[in-house]
Amino acid sequence: MFKRSLDFSLAGILLVFMLPILAVAAVIIKWDSDGPILFRQVRMGRNFRRFQLLKLRSMFEASAGLPFILGPDKRITRIGRWLRRFKIDELPQLWNVLRGDMSLVGPRPVVPEIVKEFHRSYERLLEKRPGLTDPATLKYIRETEMLAAVRDPLRYFKSVVTPDKLLISRAYQERATVWRDLGVIAATGWGLFRSCLLTQREPPERPLAPVFVFPRPAQSTPAPQRTGSQRAKNPARRTAATRRRSGYARVELSPVVYKHLQRNPRADTPDPLRLAP
């Protein structure tokens, strides 16, 4: 109850202070492109109750494509790039906090398709309200730029970023307090300020996926042995054959999942999605 009162009070104060910025942004949005000022999208809330998330429109109206952004996107308007860079498009979600759909601190609300795909993890996370920010949001504050640096953004988003976010959000949810929430809010303000300064100066920090080694099942028939002269003829084939006979598979994992495996050495699955709580 105290957390809800704090959310309501802080969201109301922030919304009043942000009204001039929202008014200026609304005028620029209407001048830049045709369409409504606000963008509404269905997101999954507490206890799997759907609600309308509010944002300032940063994309062209009636643009087809994925319900989320993965790197540079032609659907984003000129002013939309600036709104997203400074996170101004997220300010209307303070109204969602006032309505009780969201909290100031909590896991970011996602579209129902993502919740369906990671349903087991969200069963625990959505026992409470989703929020504007949390430690996972801080880590991936430049997520769009990070995804633009990988070959397959959608695969990286679902196999590395999302499982990592879920584990971070779950870990914070288990030890969250009011004072820690206030610390996350303050860290978010500083993180946004620092991110805006570094956007043009430094490339985004991509979380590296450590290589974890999993034993392969034993082969029924041993690989044929080659003589020294045969191996010397083709070093590349010799290296590949050596890797096949080594009995191990190299799999890239998220840093958080890697630490989970270190703490639980009996976890024998290389699928990071199964490791989400």
pLDDT (tens place) for every residue of the chain, 277 residues total: 788 999 999 999 999 999 999 999 999 999 988 889 999 999 999 999 999 999 999 988 766 667 677 767 788 888 988 898 888 999 999 999 999 999 999 999 999 999 999 999 999 999 999 999 999 999 998 888 888 888 888 889 989 999 999 999 999 999 999 999 999 999 998 888 877 676 554 545 544 443 333 333 444 445 555 555 554 454 444 444 444 444 333 444 455 555 555 555 444 434 443 333 3
Sketch the domain layout of the chain as residue ranges: 2-198, 211-252
* Burial of 1 per CB tally in 10 Å (0-12, 13-18, 19+): exposed
The per-residue pLDDT for 151 is 86
The per-residue pLDDT for 254 is 52
Integer-rounded Cα Rg, in Å, for the chain is 23
**CB half-sphere exposure, 107, CA atoms < 13 A:** 29
Residue 100 and residue 104: Cα distance in Å, rounded? 10
Strand ranges (E), the chain = 38-44, 50-56, 103-105, 131-133, 211-215, 248-252
CA distances from 157 to 6, 71, 104, 146 (A): 33, 11, 24, 10
Q: Is the dihedral of CA 90, 94, 97, 101 positive or negative?
A: negative
Phi/psi region, residue 42 (left: phi>0; alpha: psi -120 to 50; beta: rest), is beta
Residue 172 and residue 107: Cα distance in Å, rounded? 9
Q: Enumerate residues 6+ apart whose C-beta is below 8 A from 107.
A: 125, 130, 131, 134, 136, 165, 166, 169, 173
- Which residue type sits at 257? V
The per-residue pLDDT for 95 is 96
Residue 52 and residue 121: Cα distance in Å, rounded? 22
% helix / strand / coil in the chain, to the nearest 5? Answer: 55, 10, 35
Any bridge partners for residue 54, and if so which?
A: 40
Q: Say if residues 212 and 163 touch (Cβ distance below 8 Å).
A: no
